[in-house]
Amino acid sequence: MVALSLHSTIAIVGAGTMGAGIAQVAAQAGHSVLLMDQQLATASTALQRLRQGLDRQVARNRLSQTEATAILSRITPTDQLQSLAGCVLVIEAIIENIAAKQQVIEQLMDICGPDCIYASNTSSIPIAQIAAGLKYPGQVAGLHFFNPAQVMKLVEVISQTQTDSNLASKLKDTMQQWGKVAVFASDTPGFIVNRIARPFYAEALRMATENLAEYAVLDQIMRQGGGFRMGPFELMDLIGLDVNHAVTQLVTTGLSLPMFEISSLQQQFLDAGHLGKKTGRGFYDYADSSSPARSSVSVTPASVQVDMVISADLGWLQPLAQRLLDSGHRTVSVVEQGFLQLAGVSITPHLGAPLPSHAGPTIALDLAFDYGLCKSLACQRSDSCSKLQLKTVWDAFATMGIELVELPNQPGLPVTRTLAMLANVAADAVQRQVCTVSDADLAMRFGVNYPLGPLAWADQVGLEWLLTTLNNLALHVDQNRYTPCDWIRQLHQSGAGFYDHYPDH
Ligand SMILES: NC(=O)c1ccc[n+]([C@@H]2O[C@H](COP(=O)([O-])OP(=O)(O)OC[C@H]3O[C@@H](n4cnc5c(N)ncnc54)[C@H](O)[C@@H]3O)[C@@H](O)[C@H]2O)c1
């Protein structure tokens, strides 16, 4: 453990949204913290806001009054850069402007000297550009916290080419000591989270453009089938479409890879000034209330019984078959190969391709985060599957508390195509040494609350599923965008998963 001593003083420069939150995190760990802003009033108001937040924690019995008082007593607001002398770590969280950031760090280097660490919380400026031309470039790194910093566990630790070799480890250990989950990221656009998360929004925007379903339906499937805390449209409305778009632009233009693209649909909303919750209108209308009714289902279990033909091993559809059995459906025969049939309709996993016209009565199911628990599942049916047959299967699923949502028989159901692309983009990032396999997954779990890291999730479903799905999406939707990265092909050929053979995962 090489974490900074808890007896050392930490400085936070910029007492806005992020700086104030980071100050609380450091003080909560036990450090004395100097919270500096251009105006003393800004820093003092920030402390006031932190007090109110801590008071709420005390009222909810999450913190004792003594602890809250101690945390606040460790934070000193200031408007004097000179008072930061003696700090061992300065975290810069001022406005997103490279000249302003360089200027403040340059001044601080004269005040705090060559041994202090200068970390920037920038989301979009390359750390190497900030370090360029400064006196002690080896002492400059990135520490990317997520909003709200007091709540979100993740911190990305970014080294640039000149960063001293043991500095990143020191920062990582320090962040862990502060109760954070710290991951190493390369100094590339979007670092880890903002890069790997792009398909979560891009696939939703693309599906809406393809008229696959309404925003509320897609959000519901992603939440109740995919296990994500929020659907992509409600999340974009919350983040702000302009903010979300700026990150997409940063990653898309910065990386110039075909898997990233700017959505014309999002652009239309931006042009109309519909930026989300903050303007009263985004994908949803907030005119009457701050949050639109969330589309969510809990179907009333029906009392139907259908006959099932199943095989002994259904792979990842097994929990679903078990749930059907537990709901009282009757197995009429057991066959050899991976096969599930309900009332004469074959149930198959969707693999990114539409069901062919020659298929017998078939329903393809979207991927679920957990078939044993999900409440909503997107599906599509073959031409030969009648509405009545769909209704029978719908009723059978309703007995398990699952609502089947029929979407057109087009390539790519929501959770399937989103996970396939999240895993593709994550694998590509690992292949390009942006991060390790496990850091990619940790970043997505603790930076944006995904139920599971995309690479661990893809490993669970299998590389055969991933490669087939991406190849189908490339064939049927967009060759450039969905082409699997080389590493996925190589792993598939060797029969390995993401967590099997990659060094230092
Ligand atoms: N808001 C987010 O969700 C978020 C998330 C991660 C990273 N970031 C990054 O964190 C940084 C800060 O973002 P924010 O949202 O907290 O901004 P903010 O506008 O809320 O706060 C910035 C603060 O910096 C102060 N400031 C500006 N110039 C200064 C200077 N020269 N010296 C001292 N103080 C100065 C301002 O008075 C203001 O209080 C940015 O680099 C941003 O990219 C933001």
Domain boundaries, the chain: 9-187, 202-296+415-505, 307-406
Task: Find the helix or strand (DSSP H, E) in which 12 lies.
Answer: strand 9-13
Backbone phi, psi, residue 460, to 5°: -60, -45
Q: 147 C-alpha to center of ligand 1: Å?
A: 12
Alpha carbon of 75 to ligand 1 centroid (Å): 18
Choosing from 95, 97, 104, 235 the residue with most ligand 1 atoms within 8 A of its CB, the one to mutate for a pocket test is 95
- Ligand 1, atom 33, lies closest to the CA of 37
Instruction: Give the CA distances from residue 384 to residues 220, 247, 345, 348, 394, in Å, rounded to whole numbers and listed in that order.
Output: 27, 44, 10, 15, 16
Using the mean position of ligand 1's atoms as its centre, give its distance from the Cα of residue 20 in Å: 10
Name the residue at shortest CA distance from atom 39 of ligand 1: 16
Q: What is the pLDDT of residue 298?
A: 60
Count CB neighbours of 312 within 10 A: 11
pLDDT beyond 80 at 418: yes
The Cα 37–Cα 108 span in angstroms is 13
* CATH number of the structural domain 9-187: 3.40.50.720
175: pLDDT strictly greater than 90? yes
Q: Pick left, alpha or beta for residue 352 (phi over 0 → left; psi -120 to 50 → alpha; otherwise beta).
A: left
**β-bridge mates for residue 378, sequence order:** 405
Instruction: Give the integer Cα–Cα distance in Å for 365 and 354.
Output: 11
pLDDT-derived band at 294 (thresholds 50, 70, 90) equals low
Summarised one tens digit per residue, pLDDT across range 218-240 is: 999 999 999 999 999 999 999 99
DSSP summary character for residue 292 = P
Q: Most confidently modeled of 156-170, 283-297, 329-343?
A: 156-170
**Rounded Cα–Cα distance for residues 185 and 244 (Å):** 20
Least confident segment among 21-35, 56-70, 332-346, 372-386: 332-346
Backbone angles phi, psi at 187, to 5 degrees: -80, 65
* CA 90 to centroid of ligand 1, rounded, Å: 14
- For the chain, give the percent of residues with pLDDT over 90: 85
Please identify every residue annotated as catalytic: 123, 144, 156, 194
Q: Is the pLDDT of residue 300 over 80?
A: no
Q: What is the DSSP letter of 338?
A: S
In angstroms, what is the span from residue 68 Cα to ligand 1's centroid? 25
pLDDT category, 326, cuts 50, 70, 90? confident
The strand pairing partners of 91, in sequence order, are 12, 119
Cα gap 248→243, rounded to integer Å: 9
Please identify, by atom number, the ligand 1 atom nearest to the C-alpha of residue 19.
Answer: 16
The 10s digit of each residue's pLDDT in 429-459 is: 999 999 999 999 999 999 999 999 999 999 9
Q: How confident is the model at residue 322 (pLDDT cuts 50, 70, 90)?
A: confident
**DSSP bridge pairs for 364:** 348, 380
306 contacts 340 by C-beta, under 8 angstroms: no
Determine how β-strand 307-311 pairs with β-strand 181-185.
Answer: unpaired
Cα–Cα distance measured from residue 157 to residue 467, given in angstroms and rounded to the nearest whole number: 31
CATH code for the domain defined by 307-406: 3.30.750
Tell me the C-alpha to C-alpha distance, in Å, between residue 256 and each of 188, 201, 251, 261, 276.
12, 18, 8, 9, 27
Q: Between the ranges 235-249, 284-298, 302-316, where is the mean pLDDT highest?
A: 235-249
Contact yes or no for 212/407 (Cβ under 8 A)? yes
Residue 344 is which amino acid?
G
Strand boundaries in 98-203, DSSP class E? 117-120, 140-145, 154-159, 181-185
Q: Please name the amino acid found at residue 458.
A: A
Task: From 17, 91, 191, 250, give the residue whose CB has the most ligand 1 atoms within 8 Å, as the site to mutate.
Answer: 17
CA distance 467 to 311: 24
Residue to substitute in 47, 94, 247 for testing ligand 1 pocket (most ligand atoms within 8 angstroms of CB): 94
Residue bearing the CA closest to ligand 1, atom 3: 147
User: Distance, CA 45 to ligand 1 centroid (Å)?
Assistant: 15
**pLDDT reported for residue 369:** 96
pLDDT band at 292 (very low <50, low <70, confident <90, very high): low
Of ligand 1's listed atoms, the one at least distance from the Cα of 39 is: 37
Give the span between the Cα atoms of 278 and 351, in whole angstroms: 38
- Give which of 263, 227, 225, 207 is closest to 407, Cα–Cα: 207
Atom of ligand 1 nearest to the CA of 101: 31
pLDDT of residue 193: 98
State the pLDDT confidence band at 289, using cuts at 50, 70 and 90: low
Look at ligand 1, atom 7, and give the residue with the nearest C-alpha: 123
- Indicate the SS3 state at residue 76: strand
Q: How many residues does the chain have?
A: 505
- Alpha-carbon distances, residue 261 vs 202, 245, 470 (angstroms): 7, 10, 17
**Could you tell me what percentage of the chain is helix, strand and coil, using 3-state DSSP and rounding each to the nearest 5?**
45, 15, 40
**270 falls in which pLDDT band (50, 70, 90)?**
very high
Distance from the alpha carbon of residue 356 to the mean position of ligand 1, in angstroms: 53
Residues with CB under 6 A from ligand 1: 13-19, 36-38, 42, 93-96, 100, 104, 121-123, 145, 147
Alpha helices in 299-436 (DSSP H): 318-326, 387-398, 414-431
Does the pLDDT of residue 293 top 60, yes or no?
no
So what's the pLDDT on residue 504?
A: 53
Atom number in ligand 1 closest to CA 120: 41
Among protein residues, the one whose CA lies closest to atom 28 of ligand 1: 94
Token representation of residue 24: 């609380």
pLDDT at 502 over 60: no
Give the fold, CATH level 3, of 202-296+415-505: N-(1-d-carboxylethyl)-l-norvaline Dehydrogenase; domain 2 (1.10.1040)
